[in-house]
Structure 1
Amino acid sequence: MKVADIMTASVHTISSERSVAFASEKMNEWKIGSLIVVDHGEVQGILTSRDIRSSHPNRIVADAMTPAPVSVKPDDDIWHVHSLLQTHEIERILVMENGEMKGLVTREEIMRKLSESMDAHTGLYRAPYIRYVGEELLKQERPFHLIFVDINDFGKINKKYGHPFGDDVIRLLSQKLASLMDEKNDYLCRYAGDEFIMISLAGEERVNHCLQAMTKPLVVDQVEVSVAVGYVNGWEEPHFFACSLRDLIRKASLLSSLHKRCKEEGSANPQENQPVQEGMSLITEWT
């Protein structure tokens, strides 16, 4: 989803020499939360309701506005806009192209649109979210940990205990995974069905702690449920940045499958049965 698909093209403007009181009147009249400050056809800043409240009404807009406002392009991804809004702690962002103002995007509109990418059952974002995060990190050549989590024997669980019980398992596992997250360094999604993906920028010690916690059994109504975990370490994987995110997810997924297979065969270490590709990691302790 691109910015152009959700931006508001109709934007109210004001010149920098007008008074804050005049700006406040216009914002109340038009029932809007901001005005774009434009002089001689060029954007000078943005005046928000927050700026109005913190300024004396007799001051001019130039003194109260936020200069050099954060902006995005119409073809930017809305996940990128969401990240900027969080980083700068702002409620709206200008849409600019070749120095020309094209519109405005608000946090409210971004969150409304992103809610369509949220899994209603778990409250986690779905696969498009993690794809955006991973692809952006690869573009920036920032290594990361990719963790693929898959519930063991989920089909059998549904058949033996019923689908409502299976829904409880999915929901409680998502809560467990979310509780392990650090909001500054971790990104989590329900990838598909009973599969979850976490991308982490945290240090290896903390990631290892999370991995060990993930492999501990989840007890749901006195039934123990275990997971298989595939793990790719971006700091150790050869040619990490030559891989696509799809390739990395595939590798982690295959490692989780190997985990399951070794568990069924009773091996304590998957490397005893089948070699793991160089640079890849796999949790070797599970229930």
Structure 2
Amino acid sequence: MNISEIMTTTVSTITSDKSVSFAAEKMNAYSTDALVVVDHGELMGVVTSRQLRSTHPNRIVADAMNVLPIRISPEDDVWETHALLQEHDDELLLVMNEEELVGVVTREDVQLKVAEFIDPLTGLYRAPYIQYMGEKLLRKGKPFHMLFIDVNDFGKINKRYGHPFGDDVIRMFSAALSEWQSNGDTYLCRYAGDEFVLITTASDEWVKECMETIDKPTPINDVMVSAAVGHLDGFREPDFFDKPLREHIARASLLSTKAKMNKESMQL
């Protein structure tokens, strides 16, 4: 999902020489918490209501404004913009088509849209997120590893210990998986139920270590929990870019099932 789908093209502006009190009045009049500062057609920065509150009303906008606001493109995706906002405290982002201001988007706009795709139990993104990120990598011609992760015997865990305990297992397992997201282009989602999908462009060694960790039984509230992992290697898969992401997910899912069956046969 691109920023163009949530941005607004209506931009409220002010000049840098206006007083802080005038800027506050203009914000009230336009029911906005931020104004774009433009002098003689030149983009100067952004001023927010928070910045106005910390500046004396007799000062001018130039004294309060942020001269280095975040600039993004209409083609930037919402999820990466959300990640960018975690590192900055900007309330208003400028949407630029090269050097032309074409719209604005607020932090709240981004957060509300992202919230639609977050799983409430785990805090992870849901399936549409991994679909978007995977398709984006395919369009760019960037190969990746895909791990389809399926918690072993989750149905039995629910039946034996109850669904609230099962929810605890999913939450804690998700938290453990989340620790693997810090390596480069790595994306994770709760795909469905007790299934997760991880996409990464990391090295073979990193993927191997990740799989070994996930495969190893881990105690969660005194219950040993493990998962089967289906690994699809886009760096070695024939015709990888000729197939849709849906087919890759299906293949990784089948590999996960095969891994689970192999483990069960070894235990017999």
Task: Output one character per residue of 1:92-149: Cα deviation in whole Å (capped at 9) or x when no partner.
Answer: 3334679875531112220122112111111111111111111111111122221110
Task: Spell out the pairing of 1:80-229 with structure 2 (5 A cutoff).
Answer: 81-82=81-82, 85=85, 90-95=90-95, 102-182=102-182, 184-229=184-229
Q: What is the rounded CA distance, in whole Å, between the counterparts of 2:209 and 2:176 in structure 1?
A: 14
Q: CA deviation at 1:177?
A: 0.7
The root-mean-square deviation of aligned C-alpha atoms, in Å, is 3.4
C-alpha separation in 2, matches of 1:67 and 1:122? 35
**Contact kept? 1:178, 1:188, Cα under 8 Å:** yes
Q: Judge conservation of contact 1:34–1:46 (CA < 8 Å) in 2.
A: no
Q: TM-score, normalised by structure 2?
A: 0.79
In structure 1, C-alpha distance between the alignment counterparts of 2:145 and 2:104, rounded to whole Å? 35
Change (3 A) 1:98 1:139: same
The one-character-per-residue Cα deviations of 1:65-108 (angstroms, maximum 9, x if unpaired) are 748972433x7653354356568885433346798755311122
Verify the 8 A CA contact 2:23 2:61 in the aligned structure 1: no
Paired residue total: 259
1:215: how far off?
Answer: 0.8
Q: Contact conserved, 2:37 with 2:47, CA < 8 A, in 1? A: no
Which residue in the other structure is 1:253 paired with? 253
Asked whether the 8 Å contact 2:46–2:69 carries over to 1, the reply is: no
| 3-state SS of 1:35 partner | strand
**Residues 144 and 2 of structure 1, relative CA distance in 2, 3 Å threshold:** closer
SS at match of 1:156: helix
Letter in 2 for 1:174: S
Q: Is 1:241 aligned with 2:241?
A: yes
Q: Distance in 1 between matches of 2:99 and 2:182?
A: 37
Take 1:65 and 1:162, find their aligned partners in 2: how far apart are those partners? 53
Give the match for residue 24 of structure 2.
28
CA distance in 2, matches of 1:69, 1:176: 32
Task: Provide the residue aligned with 1:46 in structure 2.
Answer: 45
So what's the TM-score if we normalise by structure 1? Answer: 0.74
Q: Does 1:72 align with 2:73?
A: yes
Contact kept in structure 2, 1:122 and 1:171, CA below 8 Å: yes
Unaligned runs of 5+ in 2: none
**Is contact 1:147–1:252 with CA below 8 Å preserved after alignment?**
yes
The 2-side partners of 1:183 and 1:89 are apart by 24
Given that 1:79 and 1:132 are in contact with CA atoms closer than 8 Å, whether structure 2 keeps it comes out as no
Residues 43 and 115 (structure 1), Cα distance of their counterparts in 2 relative to 1, 3 Å cut: farther
Q: Measure, in 2, the Cα distance between the counterparts of 1:89 and 1:240.
A: 39
Change (3 A) 1:218 1:65: closer
What percent identity do the matched residue pairs reach?
A: 44
Q: What CA deviation, in whole Å up to 9, does each residue of 1:206-235 have, x standing for no partner?
A: 221111111111223332222100111222
| Unaligned 5+ runs, structure 1 | 269-287
Q: What SS does the aligned partner of 2:196 have?
A: strand
For residues 82 and 216 of structure 1, what CA distance do their matches in structure 2 show? Answer: 33
Displacement after TM superposition at 1:4 (Å): 5.3
TM-aligned CA distance change 1:68 to 1:151, over 3 Å: closer
Partners of 1:90 and 1:235 in 2: CA distance: 38
